[in-house]
């Protein structure tokens, strides 16, 4: 079972929920926690343990072979991303624009653009008790998060049986990285806060989940601030509210230190129990 | 004319609230650009009246003409994005997975595949409640190319600022370190980093600053919620000193951020005490920093 924890707006508490939920579940059974916010991965600040594996992750890009190239220029025509350009008697490759589609390479009649590996980031697997924590980290300067997210999910699929509970800490927003992180999961928890920004971005996230056809529910963080519009919206659209995490400066302080909060805040633990019950029911279905 | 970009790496640090406050303080001196196109929230504080709305087309997506398709499956074989599947002996493109590379179109022996331009969102030119111009956008669901939409928003804002002889463009940047942020940063004169003193805040600040350095743009930093963790605030300040980043201000943890937002106001409109003063001083400092 795969659960993604996502949100339209950043800073609503995805990482707080993902790490605490994983640790809470791990008191009873093995879980996988994956940080798929590869641009700014933070879960690892809360989950430390024994490093079991480090994998460098690559994307494939074409490399020009000057000796065999006939300079026909078809590669340039075949690349929709302007990543391969013929300039005079040279073929230039712009790796940051390349989407690794292989068209230039495989359609090159003289096979002068073989695909080679280019480092884009690093995957780390860490073990802490019953938590298997996987973190992928995009190298600074790499612009595309999607290939790394995709490879991270493939890694998890190959390493852990289907029945293991997997919690994905997804990137924020509604564009391609979120889609990649949530498109194959069984359930998405959308974390929001009861403010106008929270509501606006929640609506976008809900639209995204409808488009993807993923079942979803909402967790309201910092409950007590703002207004009741988020609750009204969820009720009106029959969106289940799994939990309401009360606003607390104490929580913000514990979070700032990189601590798991549920052990010190019983009111937070109660909300985790509600989410746990919801997920256990989903697993039985 | 100077372009000031506000970014944060981490979400939820108060970036948009602070940017909108700067927009109010700058008044008629600035054009505002909301480049957080994924989750654009600035308009909730600036209450813009839309003057111009334009569809944004970027990139292409494959579509298979079922009358021409012979179901040979070559397209699915070459697609590296698993975007073409064979369902009940019919080949179908899953447009959310299609990257628009066009490889399938080029190898289809029946010429049954065409690439169509994709409407990935809209962008707008609006007049805000204080009558300065806001350029903003709405990215379609799951759209690619948010970096290109960011570039469009910025170039429109720039044109307007040049035409109207404005001193500043104030840009609300995107989170993360990927293509939308790269687009937000390119061409900027000054970066305001908004952070919070948490392990995550500091971690994300360091990562996004690595990116800023590649662009060789000068930067200043506002530490929001600075009283949440005095120790990490010290660490942030040390990092700023080490990297020669100007420490613009410390702002206290204050629910005025939320309260102002809830009534659709910026902090400098809602608050009339300490926080407003700190933000006004910050904006003055930024102006001196960018040298105008």
Test the B interface: residue of A16, A40, A257 with most B CBs within 10 Å: A40
* B196 and B103, same domain (yes or no): no
Evaluate whether residue B52 is within a structural domain. Answer: no
CATH number at residue B42: 3.40.50.300
Cα-to-chain-centroid distance, residue A14? 10
Evaluate whether residue B209 is within a structural domain. Answer: yes
Binding-face residues of A in 251-270 toward B, CB within 8 A: 252-253, 255-258
Category of A35 on φ-ψ map: left (φ > 0), alpha (ψ -120 to 50) or beta: beta
- Give a three-class secondary structure readout of A91-153: EEECHHHCCCCCHHHHCCCCCCCCEEEEEEEEEEEEEECCEEEEEEEECCCCCCCHHHHHHHH
Place of tokens 């605030």: B233
First to last CA, chain A: 11
What percent of chain B has a predicted confidence (pLDDT) above 90? 88
C-beta of residue B104 within 8 angstroms of C-beta of residue A107: no
ipTM: 0.92
* B266 and B136, same domain (yes or no): yes
Nearest chain B alpha carbon to A203: B39
CATH number at residue B76: 3.30.70.20
Q: Can you spell out the DSSP letters for chain B?
A: -EEEEEE-SSSSSSHHHHHHHHHHHHGGGEEEEE--GGG--HHHHH-PEEEEEEEEEEEEEEEE-TTT-----HHHHH-TT--EEEETTEEEE-TTT-----HHHHH-TT--EEEEEEEEEEEEEEE-TTS-EEEEEEEPTT-S-HHHHHHHHHHHHHHHHHHTT-SEEEEE--SSSSHHHHHHHTT-SEEEEEE-SSHHHHHHHHHHHHHHHHHT-EEEEEETTTTS-HHHHHHHHHHHHHTT-EEEEE----THHHHHHHTT--HHHH--SHHHHHHHHHHHHHHHHHT-
Nearest-CB residue to B80 (from A101, A144, A253): A101
CA distance B283 to B281: 5
B199 contacts in chain A (CB < 8 Å): 42, 45, 256-258
Cβ pair B210:A196 closer than 8 A: no
> Would you call A222 helix, strand, or coil by DSSP?
strand
* B158 and B178, same domain (yes or no): yes
CA distance A145 to B178: 7
Nearest chain A alpha carbon to B176: A39
Test the A interface: residue of B81, B184, B198 with most A CBs within 10 Å: B198
Structural domain ending residue among the three candidates B75, B91, B119: B119
Domain membership of residue B70 as a residue range: 59-119
The answer to whether residue A115 neighbours chain B at the CB level (below 8 Å) is no
User: What's the number of CA atoms in the CB half-sphere (13 Å) around residue A7?
Assistant: 25
With a cut of 60, say whether residue B292 has pLDDT above it.
no
At residue B222, what are phi and psi to the nearest 5 degrees?
-110, 125
Evaluate whether residue B31 is within a structural domain. Answer: yes
With a cut of 60, say whether residue B173 has pLDDT above it.
yes
Cβ pair A173:B100 closer than 8 A: no
Structural domain ending residue among the three candidates B73, B97, B119: B119
**pLDDT, tens digit, for every residue of B234-258?**
999 999 999 999 999 999 999 999 9
Nearest-CB residue to B39 (from A39, A107, A173): A173
Evaluate whether residue B43 is within a structural domain. Answer: yes
Model pLDDT, residue B93: 96
Smallest Cα distance from A204 to chain B, Å: 8
In 3D space, the residue among B256, B45, B53 whose CA is nearest the CA of residue B130 turns out to be B45
Smallest Cα distance from B278 to chain A, Å: 22
Model pLDDT, residue B38: 86
As for how many domains chain B has, the answer is 2
Q: What is the mean pLDDT of each run of 10 residues along chain A (285 residues)?
A: 94 95 96 97 95 97 98 96 94 94 98 98 97 97 93 97 96 90 96 96 95 96 96 98 96 93 96 96 88
Q: How many residues does chain A have?
A: 285
* B93 and B212, same domain (yes or no): no
The answer to whether residue B80 neighbours chain A at the CB level (below 8 Å) is yes
Evaluate whether residue B53 is within a structural domain. Answer: no
Cβ pair A174:B141 closer than 8 A: yes
Smallest Cα distance from A134 to chain B, Å: 17
The answer to whether residue B99 neighbours chain A at the CB level (below 8 Å) is yes
* B9 and B91, same domain (yes or no): no
Binding-face residues of A in 10-69 toward B, CB within 8 A: 10-12, 15, 37, 39-40, 42, 45
Smallest Cα distance from B164 to chain A, Å: 31
* B216 and B241, same domain (yes or no): yes
* B253 and B136, same domain (yes or no): yes
Dig out the tokens for A240 from the structure: 């289940």
Binding-face residues of A in 138-197 toward B, CB within 8 A: 138, 140-145, 171-179, 183, 195-197
Nearest chain B alpha carbon to A182: B142
Evaluate whether residue B219 is within a structural domain. Answer: yes
Binding-face residues of B in 147-186 toward A, CB within 8 A: 147, 175-180, 182
**pLDDT, tens digit, for every residue of B47-95?**
999 999 999 998 899 999 999 999 999 999 999 999 999 999 899 999 8
Angle between helices B199-215 and A249-256 (to 10 degrees): 60
Cβ pair A196:B16 closer than 8 A: no
* B111 and B148, same domain (yes or no): no
Residues B29, B32, B38, CA angle at the centre, nearest 5°?
Answer: 170
CA distance A115 to A111: 10
The answer to whether residue B266 neighbours chain A at the CB level (below 8 Å) is no
Cα-to-chain-centroid distance, residue A99? 19
Model pLDDT, residue B57: 93
Cβ pair B228:A10 closer than 8 A: no
- Across-strand partners of B136? B124
The answer to whether residue B106 neighbours chain A at the CB level (below 8 Å) is yes
The answer to whether residue A215 neighbours chain B at the CB level (below 8 Å) is no
Evaluate whether residue B279 is within a structural domain. Answer: yes
The answer to whether residue A82 neighbours chain B at the CB level (below 8 Å) is no
Instruction: Label residue B143 by pLDDT band (50, 70, 90).
Output: confident
* B76 and B185, same domain (yes or no): no
Structural domain ending residue among the three candidates B67, B100, B119: B119
**pLDDT, tens digit, for every residue of B184-227?**
999 999 999 999 999 999 999 999 999 999 999 999 999 999 99
With a cut of 90, say whether residue B145 has pLDDT above it.
no
Evaluate whether residue B54 is within a structural domain. Answer: no
* B174 and B241, same domain (yes or no): yes
A208 contacts in chain B (CB < 8 Å): 141-142
* B186 and B240, same domain (yes or no): yes
Question: Environment class of residue B117 by beta-carbon count within 10 Å: exposed (0-12), middle (13-18) or buried (19+)?
Answer: exposed
Instruction: Label residue B140 by pLDDT band (50, 70, 90).
Output: confident
Instruction: Label residue B144 by pLDDT band (50, 70, 90).
Output: confident
* B21 and B92, same domain (yes or no): no
CA distance A108 to B2: 45
């Amino acid at each position: 079972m795969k659960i993604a924890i996502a949100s339209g707006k950043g800073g609503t508490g995805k990482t707080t929920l993902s790490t605490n939920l994983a640790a809470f579940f791990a008191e009873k059974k093995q879980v996988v926690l994956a940080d798929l916010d590869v641009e700014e991965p933070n879960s690892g600040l809360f989950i430390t343990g024994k490093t079991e594996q480090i994998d460098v992750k690559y994307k494939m890009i074409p490399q020009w072979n000057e000796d065999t190239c006939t300079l026909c220029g078809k590669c340039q025509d075949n690349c929709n991303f302007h990543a391969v350009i013929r300039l005079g008697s040279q073929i230039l490759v712009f790796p940051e624009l390349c989407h690794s589609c292989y068209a230039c390479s495989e359609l090159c009649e003289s096979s002068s653009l073989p695909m080679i590996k280019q480092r884009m980031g690093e995957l780390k697997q860490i073990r802490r008790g019953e938590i298997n924590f996987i973190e992928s980290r995009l190298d600074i300067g790499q612009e595309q998060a999607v290939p790394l997210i995709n490879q991270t999910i493939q890694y998890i699929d190959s390493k852990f049986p289907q029945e293991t509970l997997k919690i994905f800490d997804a990137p924020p927003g509604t564009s391609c990285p979120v889609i990649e992180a949530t498109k194959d999961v069984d359930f998405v928890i959308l974390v929001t806060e009861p403010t106008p920004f929270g509501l606006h971005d929640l609506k976008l996230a809900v639209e995204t989940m409808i488009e993807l056809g993923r079942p979803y529910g909402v967790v309201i963080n910092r409950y007590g601030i703002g207004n009741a519009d988020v609750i009204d919206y969820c009720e009106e659209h029959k969106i289940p509210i799994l939990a309401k995490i009360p606003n607390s400066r104490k929580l913000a302080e514990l979070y700032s230190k990189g601590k798991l909060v549920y052990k010190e805040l019983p009111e937070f633990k109660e909300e985790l129990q509600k989410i746990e019950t919801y997920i256990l029911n989903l697993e039985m279905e | 004319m100077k372009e000031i970009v506000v970014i944060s790496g981490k979400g939820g640090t108060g970036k948009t609230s602070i940017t909108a406050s700067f927009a109010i303080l700058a008044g008629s001196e600035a054009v505002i650009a909301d480049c957080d196109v994924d989750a654009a929230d600035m308009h909730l504080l600036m209450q813009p009246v839309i003057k111009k709305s334009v569809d944004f087309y970027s990139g292409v997506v494959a579509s298979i003409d079922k009358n021409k398709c012979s179901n040979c499956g070559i397209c699915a074989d070459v697609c590296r994005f698993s975007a073409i599947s064979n369902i009940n002996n019919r080949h179908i493109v899953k447009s959310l997975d299609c990257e628009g590379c066009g490889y399938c179109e080029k190898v289809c022996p029946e010429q049954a595949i065409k690439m169509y331009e994709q409407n990935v969102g809209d962008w707008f030119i609006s007049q805000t409640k204080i009558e300065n111009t806001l350029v903003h956008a709405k990215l379609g669901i799951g759209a690619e190319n948010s970096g290109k939409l960011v570039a469009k928003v910025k170039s429109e804002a720039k044109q307007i600022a040049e035409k109207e002889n404005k001193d500043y463009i104030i840009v609300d940047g995107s989170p993360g370190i990927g293509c939308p942020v790269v687009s937000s940063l390119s061409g900027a004169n000054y970066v305001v980093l908004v952070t919070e003193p948490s392990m995550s805040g500091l971690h994300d600040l360091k990562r996004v600053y690595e990116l800023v350095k590649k662009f060789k743009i000068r930067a200043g930093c506002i530490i929001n919620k600075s009283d949440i963790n005095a120790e990490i605030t010290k660490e942030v300040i040390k990092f700023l000193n080490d990297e020669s980043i100007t420490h613009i201000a410390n702002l206290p943890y204050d629910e005025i951020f939320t309260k102002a937002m809830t009534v659709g106001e910026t902090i400098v409109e809602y608050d009339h005490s300490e926080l407003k003063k700190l933000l006004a001083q910050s904006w003055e400092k930024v102006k001196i920093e960018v040298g105008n």
